[in-house]
Structure 1
Amino acid sequence: MQLKYLGLTSFFLYSLIFPLNSIAQDSNEELPYVRKTDSTFFILKSKLVEAKRESSSTKILLSYLNLGEFYHYSGVYSEAIDQYNKGLKLVESKERDTFYVIFKNNIGKVHFSLKKFDMAIKSFEEGINSANNLNYLRGQAVSKGLLGACFEKKAEYQKALKFQKESLILFEKLNDQNGLAAVNENIGSIYEDLDNYEQSHKYFLKSYNHFKNRNNKEEANVLNNLGDVFRKSGNLEEAFFFTEKALAIAQKIKDYHQLESAHKDLSKTYAKYGDYKKAHEYLLKSEEFNDELLKVQNTNQVNVLQTVYETNKKEAQIQLLKEQNKVSKANQKLLWITLFAVMVVLGFLYHYSSRKRKAERKIQGYKQRMLKAELDKKAIEEENLQDEIKLKTAALSRYSLHLSQKNKILFDLSKTLRNIASRKHMDTGHKIKELVKEIDFNLQQEKEWDEFTNFFKEIHPDFIKKLSALSQSNLSPAEMRLGMLLRLNLSSKEISSILRVTPDSVRVARYRLRKKLRIDQKKELVNFMVEL
């Protein structure tokens, strides 16, 4: 079912006799006035402003109706409802009951477009009740036709027929040919849904007799309906005749919706005829027109929304300027008093801020001195710490050297004593042997190594942990000692003296340690240990 736009000048009449022949297709038809969205919208807004300035209730109501219709057919449904509700509020306050019926019907139409049929039914029923109370026949006819359309969409066909036929009787009393044509088409559509093609054809033909030779979308729509009925009843020749006639009118008036409907119906007819190639071609053309229809719809809706947004923005700016102007006039009366008060307050604030700045400068200076003292203290502590590290490093080196020298002396002494003991004619042999045993025993003690290790950890706390982490297998104590001595940058000769082994043994130990740590051959072992 489709809403037919009759132009702004005839809106009031249209609202009374509106047939709602195919409201489900509202959003799909290209509306004439949308092509001039800006000018139409500005005219409607200016009419509303003018009506409010003249305090003309009738003109204000008509302006709200026209704006609501503009938003409705542009697909901006929330704004349409808003305009209708504004008019409805004015109607209720002024007790203009015939307008109440019209606004209720228009609100129902918006809900119908949104497929909220229960809400639409409620609005139409309220319109009928009000029209009955006023004995307002045209309002009753329109409301019942709209209500019948809702029940048809809900597939409650008996209720739909009841209200459509009641609407038909009322339009006959009013001798309203447009209303009769629309309701006859609605009844034909219901009988088509019920597969009663004889009755459907009868009512569609009555509607067509009214629209015949007008070459408009209403005629094209009825022709399409007649083509549907003939196709469904098996009369394919008549179906082709009426649908192609509808297509010719649609092409002439360039109505995308009627073009889409005609091509779709022809596709179905060719399919029944067995010509699937042509059926497919017409179906594709139908889809193309449907796509074009959606593009036009989306473009029109965006244009309307953009125009409304810009207009509302300008109105808000104008209102803001008006409010600012009012405030400005009010402020002029208090300007001198306010100026004096401001001067007093500024003087007080200046004095207060001046004192505050001085106090803040003093506090800032004190903080800076405290910070400088803290920094100086930290610098001294840092310097002392560096000195301590240097002293400990030097001590560690001296300790290592001392250990080396001590072991060398002990080793030499042990060797000498062995030589003396080997002389058989000396009586001191037994005593010297005991001395040698005691010296050897002391050389084997680990106490000094424990002290060395603790001392080393103080200087290089993370070295042993890092060195252990580099090897997949655990390092032996001897390997750990070698690593520590290499970290002190000692030569192989010095290391051999400390460890009481030959330099060759140190070289072998260095090789094994390098292999265990997987150190690159190009990397010096000592440098690696120092960087670790």
Structure 2
Amino acid sequence: MKTIPLIVLILLIIPEKITAQNKQERDSILLIISLTKVDTVKAINYLELSNLTMYNDQKKTFTYLEKADSLYKISKNDKGIAKLYAQKANYYYRLGKIDSARHYLINSVEKSLHAFDTLRAAVIRHNVGILDHYQGNSSSATEIMKTNIPVFKKYKDTLHLANAYLMKGKIAISDGYYNIALKETYSALKLRRSGKDDFRIAEDLLQIGIIYQSTDEHEKAIEILNESAQLYDKTDSDQSRAQALNYMGVSNIKLKNYEHAEENLKNALLISEKLDYKANIARVYFNWGNLELVRKNLPEAIVFFERSLTVWKSIGSPNNESNNLFYIGKTYLAQKKYLQSINYLNQSIAIAESTNDVEILRKAYLEKSLALEGQNKYKESLFSYKKNKVLNDSIFTIERTNATQELKIIFETEKKEQQIALQEKEIVLLEQKAKVSNLQRLLMGIGLLLAILGFYALRQKMKRNNLEKEKVDNELAFKKKELTTHALHLAKKNEVLEGLKQKAREYKTSSTGQSGYQQLIRTINFDLQDENNWENFSKYFHEVHKGFNSKAQQKYPQITTNDLRLMALLKMNLSSKEIANILNISVPGIKKARNRLRKKLGISPKESLEALIISI
């Protein structure tokens, strides 16, 4: 398998630039946590804090994640736990602990599916595919992309659909299918440009630049990588900018632009060390070692290769370890330090055999044969050379097979695209035939439709007439009710006044006028408080306004009998003074009663109490 530059893992959370605004946000989140008593709310906010500190304070990040974990264990919230596991995966990846990152990603997928969140499960599963590809398991990564793409299309998630195309491009690069890789990556770029997402556009351009670099088109690669770096700088994406600068350094080395290459690598290393971005630190050290190697600064080259090897070992990337060991052995060979050279080359060969990295094996056996020849061990040297020859033939066969396979894939893809295009044409023809048929049906149905429309218009007119008549009848009935209510009220008032008039005449001629006057007052009071009088009035009222009390009590069960009396008088549109006289209380008392009623009915002072009661 051809060795290629490894692409950085892009997890769910994009790095943020730590600013004063982030500090304010952390303070606000901590305040929310201190005030809330809801465990899930606390847990969500601890995850937010871990996101803010992920790239500048690993200890705090771990503390926040552990607090969120303990809270989610209590609440058993599957969606929340899925997010927690995804964030833990990001944390462990940042530490270079790939196996731990993969473990939490898989758990996150399971929790998301358990919570019936298919889309989120696909998003996280995508990251498992990235890790699998990162560790050389392209077949697993391919299967994951095949599973995910239909899900993203179903949910019309263009962001993650583009990510899947980008990942297919990465897999094609690792398989040596550069034409397919370019096509898949440009498919991703097309989706990105439609969304005007500068960060994602830069991501796609980075991969396109790497493809051109892999096919030795270094000037084109530098042009595209430079555009990618500028977009990363524009979006404050320092981690990704460091990658672009690193790859620009590689192409500048190939073009023998050594000063530019050193500047690229120096800037990439500065950013990567600031962010503690281990994978890119390892890549920069390796490329700097190559720079010193071509400059013939061999001791310096070994120093950089050793540094790169140390970081790759801490991360756990066998292919990169094997590659670094090979270059250290190659550099010692250039110094004619044959024993050291063979030692490192043997280590490289051992790892390459375990990972089946034919490209490294081929190169390592050739360098080993030269080192053995330098020790005058010609027989062993010949053996290593023969191994190199066999591997060369094998690689040539693989390359031919890959080329044939790529052409086959391209042919089959184009064939499928042609079939789809043909099917689309057939669909268009069928739709056109259907339109002609529909037009005929339309013409045949116009006469019937006109008849139906005429009948419908007549029916609607009759319906409108009936509605207007019903409206007039209702208005007339309402006015009759109002008139009846007014007449009842007037009759009651006249009845009371007539009784008072008669009593006054009697007391005028009576010798006990004073006592009669007191009796008259008691009679008036009795009349005002007489329950029978109210019951008679209530009887008349309900004959006019049927069902008022039952509707009111059903809608507002908290109202009392006194409330109903007040509501009845308000429905008659009486003034507060008139209501006060009837209920034998003061006008201020009526105002208080109205306020109490408003509260029970749940209306504000700005809303009309009378309008609400009249509507019942």
TM-score tier, shorter chain, comes to: 0.5 to 0.7
1:235 aligned residue? 337
Q: Are 1:52 and 1:60, in contact at CA under 8 Å, matched by a contact in 2? A: yes
* Distance across 1 between alignment mates of 2:415 and 2:388: 40
String of CA shifts for 1:424-468, please: whole Å, max 9, x gaps.
Answer: xxxxxxxxxxxxxxxxxxxxxxxxxxxxxxxxxxxxxxxxxxxxx
Q: 2:272 aligns with which of 167, 171, 174?
A: 171
TM-score with structure 1 setting the length: 0.54
Q: Are 1:12 and 1:62, in contact at CA under 8 Å, matched by a contact in 2? A: no
Residue identity matched to 1:3: I
Residue 57 of structure 1 and its aligned partner are, at CA, apart by 2.5
* Distance across 2 between alignment mates of 1:187 and 1:228: 15
1:117 aligned residue? 218
Q: Residues 438-517 of structure 1: matches in 2 within 5 Å?
A: none
Residue identity matched to 1:112: Q
Structure with higher RCO (Cα < 8 A, 6+ apart): 1
1:210 aligned residue? 311
String of CA shifts for 1:275-304, please: whole Å, max 9, x gaps.
Answer: 334333322211211221222233234334
Q: Report % sequence identity.
A: 21
Q: 2:161 aligns with which of 42, 60, 70?
A: 60
* Distance across 2 between alignment mates of 1:42 and 1:331: 41
Q: Residues 213-292 of structure 1: matches in 2 within 5 Å?
A: 214=316, 216-292=318-394
Residue 221 of structure 1 and its aligned partner are, at CA, apart by 0.9
* Distance across 2 between alignment mates of 1:87 and 1:149: 25
Are 1:141 and 2:142 an aligned pair? no
Tell me the secondary structure at the aligned position of residue 4 of structure 2: coil
> 104-113 or 252-261: which moved more?
252-261
1:98 aligned residue? 199
* Distance across 2 between alignment mates of 1:11 and 1:282: 46
Q: Residues 348-363 of structure 1: matches in 2 within 5 Å?
A: none
* Distance across 2 between alignment mates of 1:178 and 1:7: 8
String of CA shifts for 1:227-275, please: whole Å, max 9, x gaps.
Answer: 1122222322211111111112222222211211210110121122233
* Distance across 1 between alignment mates of 2:326 and 2:164: 35
Runs of 4+ deviating beyond 4 Å: 4-13, 31-34, 39-43, 335-339
Residue 134 of structure 1 and its aligned partner are, at CA, apart by 2.0
Are 1:71 and 2:172 an aligned pair? yes
1:195 aligned residue? 296
Q: Flag the 1:169–1:155 CA change in 2: closer, same or farther, 3 A.
A: same
* Distance across 2 between alignment mates of 1:301 and 1:7: 26
2:227 aligned residue? 126
Q: Flag the 1:321–1:43 CA change in 2: closer, same or farther, 3 A.
A: farther
Residue 147 of structure 1 and its aligned partner are, at CA, apart by 0.5
> 243-252 or 79-88: which moved more?
79-88
2:434 aligned residue? 332
Q: Are 1:127 and 1:139, in contact at CA under 8 Å, matched by a contact in 2? A: no
Q: Are 2:239 and 2:277, in contact at CA under 8 Å, matched by a contact in 1? A: no
Q: Are 1:98 and 1:139, in contact at CA under 8 Å, matched by a contact in 2? A: no
* Distance across 1 between alignment mates of 2:9 and 2:434: 46
Q: Flag the 1:313–1:46 CA change in 2: closer, same or farther, 3 A.
A: farther
* Distance across 2 between alignment mates of 1:182 and 1:255: 19
Q: Are 2:188 and 2:204, in contact at CA under 8 Å, matched by a contact in 1? A: yes
1:379 aligned residue? none
TM-score with structure 2 setting the length: 0.47
Greater radius of gyration (CA)? 1
Q: Flag the 1:113–1:306 CA change in 2: closer, same or farther, 3 A.
A: same
String of CA shifts for 1:143-172, please: whole Å, max 9, x gaps.
Answer: 110100001111222221221121111111
* Distance across 2 between alignment mates of 1:8 and 1:142: 11
Q: Are 1:76 and 1:305, in contact at CA under 8 Å, matched by a contact in 2? A: no
* Distance across 1 between alignment mates of 2:161 and 2:359: 34
* Distance across 1 between alignment mates of 2:313 and 2:179: 36
String of CA shifts for 1:35-73, please: whole Å, max 9, x gaps.
Answer: x5xx97676466445423422121122022122223333
Q: Flag the 1:293–1:338 CA change in 2: closer, same or farther, 3 A.
A: farther
Q: Are 1:11 and 1:66, in contact at CA under 8 Å, matched by a contact in 2? A: no
1:150 aligned residue? 251
Are 1:297 and 2:298 an aligned pair? no
Q: Are 1:105 and 1:124, in contact at CA under 8 Å, matched by a contact in 2? A: yes
Q: Are 1:187 and 1:203, in contact at CA under 8 Å, matched by a contact in 2? A: yes
Residue 11 of structure 1 and its aligned partner are, at CA, apart by 11
Tell me the secondary structure at the aligned position of residue 336 of structure 2: coil
Unpaired runs of at least 5, structure 1: 18-30, 340-532
Residue 190 of structure 1 and its aligned partner are, at CA, apart by 1.0
Q: Flag the 1:210–1:336 CA change in 2: closer, same or farther, 3 A.
A: closer
Residue 74 of structure 1 and its aligned partner are, at CA, apart by 3.4
2:22 aligned residue? none
Residue identity matched to 1:92: R
Are 1:3 and 2:104 an aligned pair? no
String of CA shifts for 1:384-443, please: whole Å, max 9, x gaps.
Answer: xxxxxxxxxxxxxxxxxxxxxxxxxxxxxxxxxxxxxxxxxxxxxxxxxxxxxxxxxxxx
Are 1:107 and 2:205 an aligned pair? no
Q: Flag the 1:329–1:207 CA change in 2: closer, same or farther, 3 A.
A: same
The two structures, once aligned, show a CA RMSD in angstroms of 3.3
